[in-house]
């Protein structure tokens, strides 16, 4: 959580950092700040609580001078949402400024040591120990690079940080478990260090993916009007620091992916993009999918591991693996995976699924698997992310950057990849691919204006509800879970999903006159789900049906053509739209729901 961006170049830094911050805000938006190095070699700092645009209106972030700077948007962990706790944090003598994503687990001990050395602290954050520790080590005679390395060696916990040194203008970035990527302008004309590529995608597509332990040192040479960058491993001996070779790679993402274009919000843009993204996800390298299929067949035990929306995609697909290939896949929430440790053997295959590739619960699960020498396959949207760096094989979703905190296009892209894998396992790869290709037209209609208009009527009707219940059977039970998550994440209306057969075992007590109940129906579950729907109807519930044909008991119906095994990919789309419309009609920010962040890098 938290977004980081640093700039070192020839242009005024503050407008570039401001734009970058806006694109990183999905990572956290409690407070934000920028520090630049001005012409007099002084640090100029502005930070405050709230979203970047609002802070700019109050403080005018663009009048910060200088061509080097670092900036941060925060998702609070240690210390409340206050101006003092906002980043950047500056050392006691204002020599070192730091931005940080992650948690310094041992900050209390480090702080006590620094206090005993005469350092004072302004904030309640764990971060503030970092600039002061660097300063502490420099006072003891270490060079800047050595002091940063020594400081990083003493931190416990996951982090990504960027350091700005006032006297030299050197910028140092480092990561350990949290994301950080380097952006390289033409001929090193400008260098970026950021949490995510979209932060600088308008200026360069050339990137260097940083690995855990990497420390990139960006030095400024003002006379020669140039800058250089070198990468070391901060964990190695300070005397024996050797430069690490890291390739510069070009990303295929386009800037338009990270921009709103004609849309009001990223959420609706990304929902609409599913017309293409499902197709792109399905267009995988066949050899790769067949290799993974072989690994699945040869494995003794296969686990699908994920969190949140990605977990729902896994759960949905586990029904498909069972149905098409008579194959049992254990689907486990990443945060619960350690409980399965005793079942992990070197022959076990773990398929870790994550849009961001940075979810700490998923990375922890992979660590557990690796400890037991299991093979790990990752299914990820963000190329170069931590998960891709630890997995033995990776399938990319190719959905382009997902900016809205709500996962939508990456959910259906994950379903498309897992569907392809299930068909491949059943020896029916071509059929699976053909079916996925056929979805294009249906997705186009489901995201079209007239469908959105119809769903708007439903949003208007249910906007003031306190509770919504969602029912499904089989893979559509997973769809119900995902629908409930989408609704509550952004409308803040309590939405709860049940496997329809479970209704009578308790939840039915909640149904009263006009209780809203969304029901996902497919041809094969129609009969059974109909009786569950009637149980709701006869207690006065208001039934919203989603499926191939209207049932008599439905009060509101959204047609989604029957697509057999691919129903889950399609049936979620009307609810994604509903969630978006509820957010808009209720005056919530659809892209930045309260308390949430896009990648969850804390436990």
Q: Under the rule (CB under 6 A), what is the footprint of ligand M6R?
A: 307-310, 354-356, 359, 362, 405-407, 489, 596, 599-600
Cα 468 to Cα 453, 518, 596: the distances in Å are 21, 8, 21
Please give the DSSP secondary-structure letter assigned to residue 565: G
Pairing of strands 302-306, 330-333: parallel
Give the active site residue among 2, 314, 374, 517: 2
Which tokens is 396 given? 């990319």
Looking at the Cβ atoms of 86 and 360, the one nearer to ligand M6R is 360
**Measured torsion, CA atoms of residues 459, 463, 467, 471, in degrees rounded to the nearest 10:** 0
> Which residue's CB atom is positioned nearest to ligand M6R?
308
Min separation Cβ 165 and ligand M6R, Å: 33
DSSP annotation string for 575-587:
HHHHHHHHHHHTT
Give the pair of three-digit tokens for residue 137: 């080590």
In this complex, which beta carbon is closest to ligand M6R, that of residue 195 or of residue 310? 310
Omega before 88 within 30 of 0, i.e. cis:
yes
User: d(Cα 484, Cα 315) in Å, to the nearest integer?
Assistant: 15
- Check 51, 409, 537, 598 and give the catalytic one: 598
Minimum CB distance to ligand M6R smaller for 204 or for 356 = 356
* Chain position carrying tokens 């509820």: 582
Sequence-separated (6 or more) residues with CB below 8 Å from residue 432: 419, 420, 422, 423, 424
Cα–Cα dist 422/545, whole Å: 28
Helix (H, G, I), strand (E, B) or coil at 458: helix
SS3 for 121?
Answer: coil
Question: Could you give the CA distance from residue 354 to residue 309 in angstroms, rounded to a whole number?
Answer: 9
406 or 530: CB nearest ligand M6R: 406
CB of 381 to ligand M6R, least distance (A): 8
Say if residues 36 and 64 touch (Cβ distance below 8 Å). yes
374 classed as catalytic: no
**How many angstroms separate the Cα of 521 from the Cα of each of 23, 170, 314, 419, 564?**
38, 60, 20, 19, 11
Known catalytic residue at 186: no
Phi-psi region of 390 (alpha: psi -120 to 50; beta: other; left: phi over 0): alpha
Which positions are annotated as active-site residues? 2, 598
């Amino acid at each position: 959580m938290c977004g980081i961006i640093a700039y070192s170049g020839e242009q005024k830094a503050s407008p570039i950092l401001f734009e970058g911050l806006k694109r990183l805000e999905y990572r956290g938006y409690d407070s934000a700040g920028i520090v630049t190095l001005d012409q007099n070699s002084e640090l100029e700092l502005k930070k405050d609580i709230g979203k970047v645009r609002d802070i700019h209106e109050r403080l005018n972030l663009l009048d910060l001078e200088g061509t080097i700077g670092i900036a941060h948007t925060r998702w609070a962990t240690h210390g409340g949402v206050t101006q003092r706790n906002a980043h950047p944090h500056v050392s006691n003598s204002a020599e070192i400024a730091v931005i940080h994503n992650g948690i310094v687990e041992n900050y209390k001990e480090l702080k006590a040591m620094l206090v005993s050395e005469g350092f004072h602290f302004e904030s309640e954050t764990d971060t503030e120990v970092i600039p002061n520790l660097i300063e502490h080590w420099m006072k003891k005679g270490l060079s800047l690079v050595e002091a940063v390395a020594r400081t990083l060696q003493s931190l416990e916990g996951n982090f990504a940080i960027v350091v700005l040194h006032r006297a030299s203008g050197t910028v140092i970035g480092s990561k350990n478990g949290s994301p950080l990527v380097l952006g390289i302008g033409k001929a090193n004309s400008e260098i970026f260090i950021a949490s995510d590529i979209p932060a600088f995608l308008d200026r360069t597509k050339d990137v260097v993916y940083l690995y855990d332990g990497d420390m990139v040192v960006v030095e400024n040479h003002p006379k020669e009007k140039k800058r250089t960058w070198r990468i070391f491993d901060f964990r190695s001996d300070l005397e024996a620091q050797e430069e690490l070779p890291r390739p510069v790679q070009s990303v295929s993402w386009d800037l338009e992916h990270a921009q709103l274009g004609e849309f009001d919000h990223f959420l609706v843009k990304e929902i609409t993009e599913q017309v293409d993204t499902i197709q792109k996800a399905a267009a995988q390298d066949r050899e790769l999918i067949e290799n993974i299929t072989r690994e699945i067949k040869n494995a003794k035990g296969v686990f699908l591991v994920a969190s949140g929306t990605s977990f729902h995609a896994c759960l949905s697909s586990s029904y498909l693996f069972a149905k098409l290939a008579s194959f049992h896949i254990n689907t486990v929430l990443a945060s619960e995976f350690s409980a399965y440790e005793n079942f992990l053997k070197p022959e076990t295959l773990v398929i870790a699924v994550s849009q961001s590739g940075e979810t700490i619960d998923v990375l922890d699960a992979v660590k557990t698997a690796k400890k037991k020498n299991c093979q790990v396959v990752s299914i990820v949207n963000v190329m170069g992310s931590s998960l891709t760096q630890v997995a033995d094989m990776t399938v990319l979703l190719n959905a382009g950057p997902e900016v809205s905190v709500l996962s939508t296009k990456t959910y259906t892209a994950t379903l498309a990849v897992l569907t392809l894998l299930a068909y491949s396992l059943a020896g029916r790869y071509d059929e699976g691919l053909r079916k996925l290709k056929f979805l294009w037209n249906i997705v186009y209609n489901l995201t079209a204006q007239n469908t959105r208009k119809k769903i708007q009527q439903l949003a208007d009707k249910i906007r003031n509800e306190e509770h919504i219940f969602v029912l499904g059977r089989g893979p559509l039970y997973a769809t119900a879970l995902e629908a409930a998550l989408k609704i509550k994440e952004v409308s803040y209306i309590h939405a709860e999903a049940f496997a329809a057969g479970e209704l009578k075992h308790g939840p039915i007590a909640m149904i009263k006159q006009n209780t809203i109940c969304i029901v996902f129906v497919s041809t094969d579950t129609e009969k059974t789900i109909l009786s569950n729907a009637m149980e709701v109807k006869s207690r006065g519930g208001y039934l919203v049906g989603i499926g191939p044909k209207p049932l008599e008991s439905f009060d509101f119906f959204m047609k989604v053509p029957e697509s057999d095994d691919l129903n889950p990919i399609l049936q979620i789309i009307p609810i994604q739209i509903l969630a978006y419309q509820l957010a808009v009609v209720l005056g919530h920010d659809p892209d930045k729901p309260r308390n949430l962040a896009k990648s969850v890098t804390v436990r």
